[in-house]
Amino acid sequence: MSRSEKIDVEKYVSPDMDDDEPTIRAIMKSLQVGAHVHSDVLYFYVRFLKRLWAKTNKPFSEIPNVITRKVEVPQQGNTFDCAFFVLHMIKLFCEQAPISFKMENLNMFTENWFDPKDASALREDIWPIMCEELESHFGRPISRKLHDEIQNSPPLM
C-alpha cells in the first residue's frame, strides 16, 4: 500500500461489521525462544487497532468485537526458518480453515498441526527462486558466502 492510500479502518478492524460474530485474530508463534513474545505482540497489536480506530473519530465504546487469541502451533528448531513457517501456516490455513472462521475453529491449531520439517523444507523449494530474484535485482550473482551459508544451514532439529 502506498503512503497516499488510506486504510479503511473499520474494515481492517472488523471486516464483517454486519455480522454478529466477533472478528478473530490468532497470534501464532513458531519460534521456541522468548515466551514473552506472545504478550508483546498482543499488546502492540491491540495498541495498533486502537490507534487505527482513533482515526475514525468514533468513541472507543464503538470498537467492533475483536477477539485476539494466542494459539499453539508447531515450533521451529532454529532461528532462521520463520518465513517458511509463516508461509506454510498461511498455505495450510487457506486450505483447511472454513470460510466463516469462528471461535470453535481455533482448535484446528495445535502443536501437531503439521510436521515442522515440512515448513523447513520450503527453504529448498524457495531458495532457487530467491537466488534468481536477488541476482536479477542486483544484476550479478549473490555472494558465494551467502549462498553457502543458506544452503548449508543445519536442518531442523
Q: What is the band of 1 on the pLDDT scale with cuts at 50, 70, 90? A: very low
Please state the rounded mean pLDDT for residues 126-136: 85
Which grid cell is 113? 498441526
* Predicted confidence band of residue 2 (pLDDT cuts 50, 70, 90): very low
Least confident of 35-44, 65-74, 86-95, 107-116: 35-44
CA end-to-end span of the chain: 38
Which residues have a Cβ under 8 Å from the Cβ of 26 and sit 6 or more positions away? 68, 69, 70, 71, 106, 109
State pTM to two decimals.
Answer: 0.63
User: Grid coordinates standing for 97?
Assistant: 480453515
Mean pLDDT is lowest, of 9-18, 38-47, 105-114, for 9-18
